[in-house]
């Protein structure tokens, strides 16, 4: 039976994580497995790996073939590094203690490298956040300037409108004073001139006959006065 080291999908859509299992190469991907040796969660940064190192090394040593992803995980965890050192011990190049010391040094350097990468990524995120904040700040300042300019223009327009209304209010009384000329139509009272002709209807000529009658009466009274001296 050919054993294979593979990932078995778990979780749900949008948040998948995997079990690292030893399975028969003929079994389906998510079917039965021989042994579970760890988990892999790619949703974290960096990805989280929980691995049974000794069992993984055992299966690698007995010839289990990993998939590409499983090989990458095992290599990062140092399984293949330890396999290489174990081969050196078998060949007599160094002893177990030296192999373990080399592995510990490699592991420490690996962790430091991962930590440095994490620090760089965190710093890059902070710088990116600062850059975004500065960009947003500039955009907000530009918007604030536009709003202030529009408000100033609106205030100026309002002030101009108020000034125009005030000027119109001051000009209206001067125009209203001129209608005093309209009082002139009192000249239409000229019908009084029509009344004058009515006075003319009582002409002095009609009174003249009255004077004549009085004149005529006076001579009639004076006639006897002339006769008195004749008797004397």
Local confidence pLDDT in tens for the 232 residues of the chain: 688 999 999 888 888 999 999 998 888 877 888 999 999 999 987 889 999 999 999 999 998 999 999 999 999 999 999 999 988 898 888 888 999 999 999 989 988 888 888 788 888 888 888 899 999 999 999 999 999 999 998 988 888 888 888 877 666 554 455 554 454 454 454 444 444 444 444 444 444 444 444 434 444 444 444 444 444 3
**pLDDT, tens digit, for every residue of 119-173?**
888 888 888 888 999 999 999 999 999 999 999 989 888 888 888 888 776 665 5
Phi-psi category of residue 11: left, alpha or beta, with phi > 0 → left and psi -120 to 50 → alpha:
left
Q: How far is CA 80 from CA 57, 121, 149, 210, in A?
A: 8, 27, 68, 165
User: Can you give the residue ranges of every domain in the chain?
Assistant: 3-93, 111-170
CA distance 53 to 47: 17
Q: Provide the CATH number for the domain formed by 3-93 in this structure.
A: 3.30.1320.10
């Amino acid at each position: 039976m050919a054993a294979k080291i593979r990932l078995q999908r778990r979780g749900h859509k949008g948040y998948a994580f995997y079990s690292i299992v030893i399975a028969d190469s003929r079994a389906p991907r998510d079917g039965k497995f021989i042994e579970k040796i760890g988990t892999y969660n790619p949703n974290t940064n960096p990805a989280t790996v929980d691995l049974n190192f000794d069992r993984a090394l055992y299966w690698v040593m007995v010839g289990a073939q990993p998939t590409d992803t499983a090989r990458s995980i095992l290599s990062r965890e140092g399984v293949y590094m330890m396999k290489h050192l174990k081969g050196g011990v078998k060949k007599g190049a160094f002893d177990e203690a030296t192999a373990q010391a080399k592995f510990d040094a490699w592991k420490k350097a690996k962790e430091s490298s991962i930590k440095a990468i994490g620090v760089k990524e965190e710093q890059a995120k902070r710088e990116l956040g600062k850059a975004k904040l500065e960009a947003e700040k500039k955009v907000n300042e530009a918007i604030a300037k536009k709003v202030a300019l529009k408000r100033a223009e609106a205030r100026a327009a309002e002030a101009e409108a108020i000034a125009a209304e005030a000027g119109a209010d001051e000009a209206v009384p001067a125009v209203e004073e001129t209608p005093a000329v309209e009082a002139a139509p009192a000249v239409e009272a000229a019908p009084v001139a029509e009344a004058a002709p009515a006075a003319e209807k009582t002409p002095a000529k009609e009174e003249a006959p009255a004077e004549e009658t009085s004149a005529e009466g006076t001579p009639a009274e004076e006639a006897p006065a002339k006769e008195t001296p004749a008797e004397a």
